[in-house]
Structure 1
Amino acid sequence: MTRFTVLKHDTTTRARLGLLLTRRGPVHTPAFMPVGTQATVKSLTPEEVRATGSEIILANTYHLLLRPGPAVFEAVGDLHTFMRWDGPILTDSGGFQVFSLAKLRTVSEQGVTFRSHIDGSLHELTPETVIDLQLVFGSDIIMPLDDVVGYGEPESRQVEAMQRTHRWLSRALDYFVARTMSSEPASRPLLFGIAQGGFRAERRRTSAEFVASLPLDGIAIGGLSVGEPKQELYALLQASLDPLPEDRPRYLMGVGAPEDLWRAVSLGVDLFDCVLPTRLARHGALFTENGRIDILAVRFKFQREPVDPCCDCYTCQHYSAAYLHHLFRAKELLAYRLATIHNLRFIQNQMARMRTAIAEGTFAQAMEAFLTRYGNAEAGYAGEPLLYEGER
């Protein structure tokens, strides 16, 4: 059974229009996955997330392990039942969260032991237990445990992490096959692999070649957007993509700025996730066609028009920029909800625009038009809040 089909290639870039089939429905690619770290896209109901145009969301194994814990899912039903989301869910393995959040972590060949950032309790993740957890969650796309390194770590540590990630992936694949071999192909979850390699292009290619050699349903590119300069990110991404086959989806983990989405799609990426759109929204940083704005700025106090007159989201169709400015100044909870709806709809509109441009053979022109209009305004934005560690 073919689970991923490239429907069309752009003629002047490497952008691809595709269709990914999961057991809970199709995903039209390029696609962006809103992050529901703890079984919720913060401040929104599943219906509101769906209304932004989102077909698939992401949840996190590390956080769900710690709270509410696998026993809750075994008692009340899988993640879909628990959070009332009926579409596909990808769960990442928790490797990045262990790297960025966990206290006193110890990495060994067996796996990783760590103390919870919540209460200090001791836990262990191995390639096998990560698969078990995601099967309990009912995940539609499962990610294996990987060994993540930060920008600037020693070369020896980068090599070690890549090689260990490969060994862990082989263990995870064997275990996944054993656990799901009795399932019908259409009803089993998908397993992606994660290519690492640190911050050398040759290692990136080596890791991508190894992951591509295995019978996996998709290939993720991890360990980027962790502090490296943007141009280095793009160069390493290109090195990671070059060896990958055409017949499987490519997932760039943890990247979600609008300009980065356009550029990464032009290089051949199909799937994305990132906390950035929702995180920024809760700080009053909103995407518009003319760049990112800070809704708390005094210039919006008397603006009767919506934040973005071009936007078709619920927020822009019903509320003025002045009202959002007031909500944020007053720290009213509705502010976070309306801003999150807007930012997610903006991102999903960009993904839809990309898909249309690929289909029409105009992707390069559409990207140039977006980057010219958005990027010039974005250069003047000063209020960029830091990401919460452990979120993507």
Structure 2
Amino acid sequence: MPGPVDNGPDPGGGAGAFGFQLLATDGAARRGVVTTAHGTIRTPAFMPVGTQATVKTMYPEQVRALGADILLGNTYHLMLRPGAERVARLGGLHRFMNWPHPILTDSGGFQVMSLAKLRKITEDAVTFQSHIDGRRHVLSPERSLEIQGLLGSDIQMQLDECVALPADRAEIERAMNLSLRWAERSRRAFIGTPGHGIFAIVQGGDDEALRVESARALGVMDFHGYAVGGLAVGEPQDVMLRILEATCPELPVRKPRYLMGVGTPDDIVQSVLRGIDMFDCVMPTRAGRHGQAFTRRGKVNLRNARHADDPRPLDEESSCPAARDYSRAYLHHLVKAEEALGAMLLTWVNLSYYQDLMAGLRHAIEAGRTADHVAAVREGWARGDIPPAA
């Protein structure tokens, strides 16, 4: 059986081309850098989610200061409101949201499947009604790429069909094959301006053989990068990791690998150990808005009454002022009073933790001590949060 395809340098070549350089490996873990039209992305990388051209409760410059090299925008939401054509007239997504750094846009497919009303999938496209106003829209592979081009994102994603798990193998295989045909159409529709790339999406549900088949078929299409989709949708972590162990060795070595919609800090760490380079997830921002903080001692629920009289910060050693300079009692008060500042501070805490986690992994891979570093990180989580003194 053939191994992974190594397509070498970016097919565009030349100055300003989209590219990926693999700088170091430690086991399957990889340290690299992605070059785009709006700057470089250090990998492993976590992309904060800016669904509607904003990372909720955060200023763009705050997000950048935490160490984020790239944000994710959502094609489905942006095509419905304010509209891709409007964003293009206003100078593109980077200018529109005041983020002059790399942006990845998803294809819109996942949101169509999960949010839209009365959707219908055919060979040509998916037709759906907006969840906002009920208007009818048609999203084809070509239209998805057109929208992403109008937005001006540095990394654009092929349109695919993501099935909910568990599902019958026949249904998973049907969706995988449709996604492969849509991948070919997406690759043809992509306008390869300098510094911009298109990623394919490996599908196949929880079936290892289908995942391998999808990865190999996409590998010969010569995309700029490869995503693994259709995971972190409710399946156990061990299933996700088993699929990654089957899939990653089949992906091109010199192209970035992106695990979509993942996830918890432990999901990220375990996936880096299996060869994933890029991640996105709403978890740190959503958790912050619901009173939960991620720290080196694990997750802390600030709604818990035990924090009401606790003058200590969340983490006195954190690089984030929100974790270091505000008392747990105050954060608890803000959360219970439903003050906007509580969501702002805890989102700041969480995105800081995620970026520090990625920086630690990058340094560990470079130093060839990834296993020891991961063991120390997980030991901190296992010890748990330190209770207040009696």
Give structure 1 stretches of 5+ with no counterpart: 379-392
Q: Does 1:19 align with 2:48?
A: no
1:1-392 maps to which residues of 2 (within 5 A)? 1=13, 3-10=19-26, 13-176=27-190, 179-180=191-192, 183=193, 187-375=194-382, 377=384
TM-score (norm 1): 0.92
Moved more, 368-377 or 315-324: 368-377
Aligned residue for 1:359, secondary structure, equals helix
Describe the superposition over 1:304-348 as per-residue Cα deviations: whole angstroms up to 9, x where unpaired.
221122211121233111111111111110111111010000000
Contact 1:197/1:204 (8 A) holds in 2: yes
Distance 1:58 1:156 in 2: 32
Distance 2:200 2:298 in 1: 34
2:8 matched to which residue of 1? Answer: none
Q: In structure 2, how many angstroms separate the alpha carbons of the residues matched to 1:357 and 1:111?
A: 44
C-alpha separation in 2, matches of 1:122 and 1:40:
25
> What letter is aligned with 2:48?
P
- Does structure 1 conserve the Cα–Cα contact (< 8 Å) formed by 2:294 and 2:300? yes
Matched residues, percent identical? Answer: 45
Provide the rounded CA distance (Å) in 1 between the counterparts of 2:323 and 2:243.
37
Structure 1: 4+ residue segments shifted above 4 A: none
Across the two proteins, how many residue pairs are aligned to each other? Answer: 369
CA distance in 2, matches of 1:275, 1:16: 24
Q: Which amino acid aligns with 2:22?
A: V
For residues 155-209 of structure 1, the C-alpha deviation after alignment (integer angstroms, 9 at most, x for no partner) is 2211110000000000111111xx33xx4xxx24111110101110111111111
Secondary structure class of the residue paired with 2:23: strand
Distance 1:124 1:376 in 2: 51
Give the partner amino acid of 2:20.
F
**Secondary structure of the residue that 1:370 maps to in structure 2?**
helix
Give yes or no for contact 1:289–1:310 (8 Å, CA) kept in 2: no
Conserved 8 A contact 1:5-1:18: yes
Q: 47-56 vs 300-309, which deviates more?
A: 300-309
Task: Quote the RMSD (CA, aligned, Å).
Answer: 1.2
CA contact (8 A) 1:205 1:242 kept: no
**Counterpart-to-counterpart distance in 2, 1:223 and 1:207:** 12
Determine helix, strand or coil for the equivalent of 1:40. Answer: coil
Alignment-mate amino acid for residue 125 of structure 1: L
The answer to whether the Cα contact below 8 Å between 2:314 and 2:324 also exists between their aligned partners in 1 is no
Q: What code does the residue aligned with 2:240 have?
A: L
Deviates more, 1:66-75 or 1:346-355: 66-75
